[in-house]
């Protein structure tokens, strides 16, 4: 059992490493957002509006992780690149050190996660301001985030389900699972999680919304030592009843070394998907190596030969299906629940044991990524996006 002190030490190390991720504020493509409302959570905000933006375009809200900032997360995950390709707007709320010394969104604080209170209210005010100023489609607003930003994504989906068409939680936690710092550390380690019924009740009680509910994309690495992979299943358990989805997944497939499960609603529409990223630690999974890849690897921005940014866009209908470059197993939605579970287990057990001894850290891999990272960074510098 990991001690709380171990988690605290790890967060301190993450904070120190965050200053060395190679992404400076001077390389940002983002524009500050001003005069968006009373801002009770005392957050900053930034926007990116591509030249390809059309009337009634979609808006994606992006929430960075601990020790990160808006511009660094954008360059790492490649969100502004995707906005250029597909013509949607971006909003980046940013945490301030006076609110949290590690720059984490306060996803566990009752004063910040309730509707019309604190940080959640500030983000909602930003969404309203950006949507109105740029003529965006209020029916196509989405939110995503990593780690604490992923947990804050869950907050926004629960507190304002009528605002968001969908969300994507990367290495995050379910809404309302903690209300104190000790509880937050416990949940991060996978301890003391409320029951599935309790988790669903927390979302139902967060607003008077009765549906339809936002769709959900969930991403987590199997080697995550900061936020336990158990949280991915807890998020699924929290949202399945709201969508009327069955416990067993309706679709199961392999994507290279990784696995995807999906659940449908009564109309057969995919409403929840989960990506299990084999051998990956705590961070956002990237594909920076392929011709269609985006982003740049760095601290908590991890090359995994799969782009969460691209596939999240596809799940939300913001990108074309042809952008999905993956080897998949034929889907079998007609399987019985027991057969679906067996198929999923078979896919997981069949995954090649890449990086099994030291995930994402062996010498050949490190040398390869180091060289590729230099190529990427040189390209960013020549484009004026990095110094």
User: Averaged over 188-210, what is the pLDDT?
Assistant: 98
Q: What is the DSSP letter of 27?
A: G
Which residue has 């003529």 as its token pair?
A: 135
Give the separation between CA 94 and CA 149, rounded to whole angstroms: 10
Q: Which is more confidently placed, 137 or 360?
A: 137
Residue 338 in tokens:
């027991």
Give the separation between CA 386 and CA 379, rounded to whole angstroms: 9
In tens, the pLDDT along 232-283 reads 999 999 999 999 999 999 999 999 999 999 999 999 999 999 999 999 999 9
Residue of 122, 118, 131 whose CA lies nearest to 90: 131
Q: What is the dihedral of CA 255, 270, 221, 114, to 10 degrees?
A: 160
Rg (CA), the chain: 19
Distance of CA 298 to the CA centre of its chain: 16
Residue of 157, 120, 106 whose CA lies nearest to 40: 120
Which contacts qualify for 291-296: CB closer than 8 Å, 24 or more apart?
A: 292/323, 292/325, 293/78, 294/77, 294/78, 294/81, 294/82, 295/75, 295/76, 295/77, 295/78, 295/81, 296/22, 296/23, 296/75, 296/76, 296/78, 296/373, 296/376, 296/377, 296/380
Evaluated on CA atoms 220, 221, 223, 226, the torsion sign reads negative
Give the separation between CA 166 and CA 157, rounded to whole angstroms: 8
Least confident of 92-96, 150-154, 236-240, 370-374: 370-374
- 196: number of Cβ within 10 Å: 17
User: Averaged over 191-213, what is the pLDDT?
Assistant: 97
Share of the chain above pLDDT 70, in %: 76
pLDDT of residue 25 exceeding 70: no
4-382 has which fold? Rossmann fold (3.40.50)
- Domain spans in the chain, listed from the N-terminal domain onward: 4-382
The whole-model pTM stands at 0.80
Which residue has 């001894």 as its token pair?
A: 357
pLDDT of residue 385 exceeding 80: no
For residue 55, what pLDDT is reported? 87
Annotated active-site residue 147? The verdict is: yes
Q: Which is more confidently placed, 68 or 380?
A: 68
Q: Which is more confidently placed, 104 or 368?
A: 104
Which of 147, 228, 307, 308 does the annotation list as catalytic? 147
For residue 27, what pLDDT is reported? 64
pLDDT of residue 13 exceeding 50: no
Residue of 281, 313, 286, 300 whose CA lies nearest to 376: 286
For residue 322, what pLDDT is reported? 46
Average pLDDT score, the chain: 84
Give the separation between CA 63 and CA 74, rounded to whole angstroms: 10
């Amino acid at each position: 059992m990991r001690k709380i002190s171990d988690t605290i030490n790890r967060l301190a190390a993450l904070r120190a490493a965050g200053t060395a991720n190679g992404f400076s504020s001077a390389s940002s493509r983002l524009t500050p957002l001003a005069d968006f409302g009373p801002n009770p959570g005392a957050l900053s905000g930034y926007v990116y509006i591509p030249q390809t933006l059309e009337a009634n375009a979609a808006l994606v809200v992006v929430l960075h992780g601990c020790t990160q900032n808006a511009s660094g997360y954008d360059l790492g995950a490649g969100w502004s690149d995707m906005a250029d390709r597909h013509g949607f707007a971006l909003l980046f709320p940013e945490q301030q050190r006076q609110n949290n010394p590690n720059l984490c969104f306060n996803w566990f604080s009752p004063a910040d996660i309730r509707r019309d209170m604190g940080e959640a209210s500030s983000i909602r005010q930003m969404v309203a301001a950006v949507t109105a100023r740029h003529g965006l489609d209020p029916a196509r607003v989405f939110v995503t985030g990593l780690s604490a930003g992923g947990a804050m994504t869950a907050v926004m989906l629960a507190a304002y389900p009528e605002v968001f068409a969908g969300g994507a939680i990367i290495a995050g936690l379910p809404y309302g699972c903690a209300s104190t710092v000790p509880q937050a550390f416990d949940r991060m380690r996978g301890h003391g999680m409320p029951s599935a019924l309790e988790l669903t009740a927390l979302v139902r009680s967060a607003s008077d919304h009765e549906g339809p509910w936002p769709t959900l994309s969930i991403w987590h690495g199997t080697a995550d030592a900061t936020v336990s992979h158990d949280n991915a299943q807890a998020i699924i358990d929290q949202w399945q009843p709201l969508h009327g989805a069955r416990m067993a997944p309706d679709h199961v497939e392999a994507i290279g070394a990784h696995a995807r499960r999906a659940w449908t609603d009564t109309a057969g529409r995919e409403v929840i998907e989960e990506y299990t990223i084999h051998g990956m630690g705590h961070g956002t999974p990237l594909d920076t190596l392929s011709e269609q890849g985006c982003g740049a690897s760095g601290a908590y921005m991890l090359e995994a030969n799969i782009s969460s940014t691209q596939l999240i866009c596809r799940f939300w209908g913001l990108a074309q299906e042809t952008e999905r470059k993956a080897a998949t197993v034929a889907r079998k939605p007609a399987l019985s629940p027991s057969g679906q579970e067996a198929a999923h287990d078979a896919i997981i057990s069949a995954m090649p044991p890449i990086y099994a001894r030291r995930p994402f850290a062996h010498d050949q891999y490190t040398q390869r990524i180091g060289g590729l990272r230099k190529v990427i960074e040189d390209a960013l510098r020549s484009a004026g996006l990095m110094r």
